[in-house]
């Protein structure tokens, strides 16, 4: 095991910098609605407002008051075991019990009384560095908080913008890598332009001992973190946090604003929404905008605000356009837009004909180091393991509910082709498929790559598929896979 590059001296210095703390009392509180009706008053008579904090992807309501206020923020640190991917758990260190941490929304020139509480069950001291704060450590110097303690400090929000916050207790990288980051928005005095939908999306890279998809409770791997080689790159703390039932939603004609952050700790995000162009991007979370942007860079410890109008109905995929991170490490989300079609703006498919250039062949999925497959104990565990494998290998093409993509990738849901011959399905997964097939009355002529899966894994993923989305059920066994592979003609 390689030793950390952070020297003992640096660690002690960092601990000393962040170990001071101050405590101030909380004044009388009013609601934000009441404060919005309050006229301008002297600083010592400012109305006091309890900040509304939200979990991603939700954000607090826009600020409508026309004056500064004293805003009380109470944020609790919790160390919790949560899902990182299907079948994979991780011990996250969190601001507020979730990754990313709570979204904080204040107004320029607000005076903030910030309370940081560290839950008694925590095993580590923590603090907070808010990039919106002008002062030593961004507040970290005043918030070194032991388990079971609370620290408080005050700051004035001088600069508008969207800012990252994170833990800055040594070793800083490990605290951030375990999920200790979030966003704080300082609205300009005049407020942000009105939109119909606002969402909170934050990317992070995670470093586990096991490779992507290895089941069970995974520990943090310092070697991978130092090498900047994450097992997972995800939005909002887990694979699938923004897909399926958790997808973002909008309607045709609505304006959508995404508050995008990148906790890192290492990777830069190339944030992109497939099928949309950002009308406005507040670059790096500042107050100046760029227009008509396809992909925007979000540095580790940085942010961006993106705005666009939903013009065409359909599913729009959010990705880190360092694209293997999206389809192989988890940095993928979904925005579902409902409404009437506009054929002049987007026609949909109008031609589908065979194009078969000479030399085409079945592709193989590269996999230089295949992790050992977990062995299923029964049908239910086989389905659970198969669910994870489906998300890793199949979901990008066949979609989360097996619906496929019309004209490109055939559906697995209620699939007459699949249900008619499971041995054929085994052969296709093992050896790939080239050529035209008919599924549920529709012709498809795309290439199915050869997947580097073991017999156990093929049995698991097909058992999951045949027991979902209206398929016929049953269990596929490794023995059946071995026999079907040997007899498959392709």
- 89-127 residue pLDDT tens: 999 999 999 999 999 999 999 999 999 999 999 999 999
Average pLDDT of the residues in 186-190: 96
110 and 256 in a common domain: yes
Average pLDDT of the residues in 234-239: 97
Residue 297 lies in a domain: yes
Enumerate the known binding-site residues for Cu cation.
Answer: 126, 131, 166-167, 175, 180, 321
Q: How far is CA 131 from CA 60, 425, 448, in A?
A: 19, 53, 47
455 and 339 in a common domain: no
- Final residue of a structural domain among 362, 394, 411: 362
Residue 444 lies in a domain: yes
305 and 418 in a common domain: no
What are 153's two structure tokens? Answer: 């400090």
What are 468's two structure tokens? Answer: 């979902």
pLDDT score recorded for residue 355 = 60
pLDDT score recorded for residue 163 = 98
pLDDT score recorded for residue 13 = 37
Residue 219 lies in a domain: yes
As a whole number of angstroms, the distance between CA 404 and CA 80 comes to 36
205 and 67 in a common domain: yes
Residue 18 lies in a domain: no
Average pLDDT of the residues in 415-428: 91
pLDDT exceeds cutoff 60 at 41: no
Query: What are the pLDDT digits (tens) for 241-289?
Result: 999 899 999 999 999 999 999 999 999 999 999 999 999 999 999 999 9
Residue 233 lies in a domain: yes
- Final residue of a structural domain among 362, 388, 405: 362
453 and 406 in a common domain: yes
pLDDT score recorded for residue 350 = 79
What are 253's two structure tokens? Answer: 């004609």
Mean pLDDT, rounded, of the chain: 87
pLDDT score recorded for residue 8 = 41
pLDDT score recorded for residue 397 = 83
Average pLDDT of the residues in 433-451: 82
Please enumerate in sequence order all residues whose Cβ is within 8 A of that of 291, keeping only pairs 6 or more positions apart, or say none.
279, 280, 281
pLDDT exceeds cutoff 80 at 28: no
What are 296's two structure tokens? Answer: 């925007």
pLDDT score recorded for residue 362 = 52
User: Which pairs from 437-440 meet CB under 8 Å and 24+ separation?
Assistant: 437/410, 439/404, 439/410, 439/411, 439/415, 440/410, 440/411, 440/414, 440/415, 440/416
Which residue range forms the structural domain that includes residue 134?
A: 44-362
149 and 250 in a common domain: yes
| Residue bearing the bigger pLDDT, 25 or 319 | 319
| Residue bearing the bigger pLDDT, 297 or 21 | 297
pLDDT exceeds cutoff 50 at 39: no
Enumerate the known binding-site residues.
Answer: 126, 131, 166-167, 175, 180, 321
pLDDT exceeds cutoff 90 at 78: yes
268 and 123 in a common domain: yes
397 and 356 in a common domain: no
pLDDT exceeds cutoff 60 at 87: yes
| Residue bearing the bigger pLDDT, 34 or 215 | 215
As a whole number of angstroms, the distance between CA 471 and CA 197 comes to 36
Residue 83 lies in a domain: yes
Residue 87 lies in a domain: yes
pLDDT score recorded for residue 364 = 55
What is the count of structural domains for the chain? 2
350 and 405 in a common domain: no
Q: Which one-letter DSSP state was computed for residue 284?
A: G
Report residue 487's pLDDT band, with 50, 70 and 90 as the boundaries: confident
298 and 428 in a common domain: no
pLDDT score recorded for residue 435 = 77
| Residue bearing the bigger pLDDT, 239 or 388 | 239
Give the domain CATH number at 436: 1.10.760.10
| Residue bearing the bigger pLDDT, 21 or 169 | 169
Average pLDDT of the residues in 336-352: 87
As a whole number of angstroms, the distance between CA 314 and CA 240 comes to 18
354 and 299 in a common domain: yes
178 and 67 in a common domain: yes
Average pLDDT of the residues in 50-66: 97
Give the domain CATH number at 134: 2.60.40.420
- Final residue of a structural domain among 311, 328, 362: 362
DSSP β-bridge partners for residue 141: none
pLDDT exceeds cutoff 90 at 450: no
Report residue 357's pLDDT band, with 50, 70 and 90 as the boundaries: low
Q: Which one-letter DSSP state was computed for residue 113?
A: E
What are 292's two structure tokens? Answer: 């008509």
Residue 257 lies in a domain: yes
């Amino acid at each position: 095991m390689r030793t950390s590059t952070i020297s003992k001296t640096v660690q002690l210095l960092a601990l000393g910098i962040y170990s001071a703390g101050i405590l101030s009392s909380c004044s009388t509180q009013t609601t934000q609605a009441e404060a919005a009706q309050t006229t301008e008053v002297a600083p010592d008579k400012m109305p006091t407002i309890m900040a509304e904090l939200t979990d991603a992807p939700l954000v607090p309501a826009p600020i409508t008051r026309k004056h500064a206020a004293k805003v009380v923020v109470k944020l609790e640190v919790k160390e919790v075991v949560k899902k990182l991917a299907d079948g994979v758990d991780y011990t996250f260190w969190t601001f507020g019990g979730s990754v990313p941490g709570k979204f904080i929304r204040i107004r320029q020139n607000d005076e903030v009384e910030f309370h940081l509480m560290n839950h008694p069950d925590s095993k580590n001291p923590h603090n907070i560095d808010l990039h919106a704060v002008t002062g030593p450590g961004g507040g970290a110097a005043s918030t070194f908080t032991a388990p079971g303690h609370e620290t408080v400090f005050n700051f004035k929000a001088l600069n508008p913008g969207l800012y990252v916050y994170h833990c800055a207790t040594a070793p800083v990288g490990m605290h951030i890598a375990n999920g200790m980051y979030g966003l704080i928005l300082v609205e300009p005095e005049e407020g942000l332009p009105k939109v119909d939908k606002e969402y909170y999306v934050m990317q992070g890279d995670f470093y586990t001992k096991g490779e992507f998809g290895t089941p069970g409770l995974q520990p943090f791997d310092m070697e991978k973190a130092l090498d900047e080689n994450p097992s997972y790159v995800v939005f909002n703390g887990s694979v699938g946090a923004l897909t399926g039932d958790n997808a973002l939603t909008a309607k045709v004609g609505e304006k959508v604003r995404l508050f995008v952050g990148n906790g890192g700790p290492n990777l830069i995000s190339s944030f992109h929404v497939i099928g949309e162009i950002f009308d406005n991007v507040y670059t790096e979370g500042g107050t100046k905008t760029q227009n008509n942007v396809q992909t925007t860079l979000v540095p580790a410890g940085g942010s961006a605000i993106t705005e666009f109008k939903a013009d065409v109905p359909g599913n729009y995929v959010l990705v880190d356009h360092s694209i293997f991170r999206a389809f192989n490490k988890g940095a993928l989300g979904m925005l579902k837009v409902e409404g009437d079609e506009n054929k002049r703006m987007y026609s949909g498919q109008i031609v589908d004909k065979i194009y078969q250039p000479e030399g085409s062949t079945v592709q193989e999925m590269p996999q230089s180091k295949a992790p050992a497959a977990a062995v299923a104990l029964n049908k239910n565990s086989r389905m659970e393991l198969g669910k994870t494998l489906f998300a890793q290998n199949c979901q990008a093409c066949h979609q989360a509910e097996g619906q496929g993509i019309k004209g490109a990738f055939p559906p697995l849901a209620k699939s007459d082709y699949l249900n008619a011959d499971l041995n054929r399905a085994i052969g296709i997964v093992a050896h790939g498929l080239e050529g035209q097939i008919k599924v549920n009355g529709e012709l498809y002529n795309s290439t199915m790559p050869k997947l580097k899966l073991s017999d156990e894994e093929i049995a698991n993923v097909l058992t999951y598929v045949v027991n979902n989305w209206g398929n016929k059920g049953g269990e596929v066994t490794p023995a059946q896979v071995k026999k079907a592979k040997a007899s498959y003609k392709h």
